[in-house]
Structure 1
């Protein structure tokens, strides 16, 4: 039985990513995957990309896309952060590779971002950043359970399970229009019924927004889904953001409140 650690929305927060990976190492997983937004907001985009490039796979997030192309619909702080992120990626263009047979690290990072797929499907499991209908950009918020037409359309595109991120709010959407938060399924959630359809938001490693400042990720063992919360040194990330004059300090301060 394969055990998969599913991470999402790292957002350049290397301190959080390291803490999560240390926890993952205690869980006897077979592989690690990422649902996008490796960069954006946070102070260490290049370092986070270097880590994620070693994962089994990663899908494209909207911030990953915006690091390559012009952002759309971003607020001022997010737009400023993504342009800063792009400059960090591009400023490594002259670095030398330790291996003459390998391109410089900056080229490998940009090539990695350029090659990210919008979706990954493994049998009846779908992996996206946003939603099964809008894999990169569509939000599925907890309050959407009140929008029956939207949810009906989304679930019609789910083969069995759809793992997603983007909102930074973890939980499980069911076809009877419920949203189960991690606190409601502390012992995990049974997903073994292949006739059931579920959308599972795995939460955010680097910028949680469910009023819990701890990082969140999921382990899927083909029978159950388990949510894990991991504490990390938030003040370390805040200090790194404060040290970058082109990053809005609010992007760090909000981490204290998980919002």
Structure 2
């Protein structure tokens, strides 16, 4: 409707962390004016709460998805194909796939690599990460800049590019477009789950939110479930928070 601001929630990189996802969805629902949620991939992998995450999201009708690299690898294993991962990462992917409820395979399989949308005349692109001409994910640029992003999208017509994959928050704005990565919802070295809200009318603004939650039970279960690569995961992606005493939400 003319003159009414549109609010969209952007979530990404849940990584099988249901506790963090639940905290964010509760925060979104409490606001009451979020029109739609865009989920930018890596719903599964790294975290072990695969079926809880997929059950929660598949029950909602206000979320659109794109596929992430972990989703793709685990789906390929579930379909009897080569995942493209190797070593400890492949062992981890095979473990996740072996615990995946097969009823969720079609849900993962229908996710595209990119989505486009238009709100209030503004064109938006949603991807897990930047794609090459063959729809393959480019290597992560660990030192992104607005100049490099503008070069990457120099032939595009988008006003906003939303992406994930690289877990830190990104917020770049040029005279051409806005680039937003809200940061990984499910992998954080602090007990917070981040996401972003786009405010769209004649202009486009973004608000970044961090929702507190208690990850302790989720993190302790890595050892209980004997999740492959758990030492690396707990240290690198979660900062060994499970070793902290008296943690509260």
Runs of 5+ consecutive residues of structure 2 not aligned to the other structure: 77-81, 242-249
Task: Please identify, of 21-30 and 148-157, the stretch whose mean Cα deviation from structure 2 is larger.
Answer: 148-157
Distance in 2 (alpha carbons) for counterparts of 1:3 and 1:254: 33
Please report how far the alpha carbon of residue 117 of structure 1 lies from its aligned counterpart in structure 2 after TM superposition: 0.9
What's the counterpart of residue 71 of structure 1?
83
Distance 1:73 1:110, change over 3 A: closer
**1:58 equivalenced with 2:69 (yes/no):** no
Distance in 1 (alpha carbons) for counterparts of 2:99 and 2:193: 24
Please report how far the alpha carbon of residue 59 of structure 1 lies from its aligned counterpart in structure 2 after TM superposition: 0.6
Please report how far the alpha carbon of residue 252 of structure 1 lies from its aligned counterpart in structure 2 after TM superposition: 2.8
Distance in 1 (alpha carbons) for counterparts of 2:217 and 2:209: 21
The answer on whether the counterparts of 1:12 and 1:39 sit within 8 Å (CA) in structure 2 is yes
Distance in 1 (alpha carbons) for counterparts of 2:229 and 2:183: 23
Question: Superposed, which structure 2 residues align to 1:169-184 within 5 Å?
Answer: 169-175=168-174
What's the counterpart of residue 113 of structure 2?
118
Q: Deviations over 1:112-138 (max 9, x none)?
A: 111101111013100110015476622
Please report how far the alpha carbon of residue 221 of structure 1 lies from its aligned counterpart in structure 2 after TM superposition: 1.9
The answer on whether the counterparts of 1:41 and 1:78 sit within 8 Å (CA) in structure 2 is no
2:194 pairs with one of 213, 216, 233: 216
Aligned length: 220
2:185 pairs with one of 184, 205, 211: 205
What's the counterpart of residue 30 of structure 1?
35
**Greater strand share, 1 or 2?**
2
Runs of 5+ consecutive residues of structure 1 not aligned to the other structure: 93-105, 176-194
- Return the TM-score normalized by structure 2: 0.78
Distance in 2 (alpha carbons) for counterparts of 1:221 and 1:119: 21
What's the counterpart of residue 237 of structure 1?
218
What's the counterpart of residue 145 of structure 2?
145
- Return the TM-score normalized by structure 1: 0.75
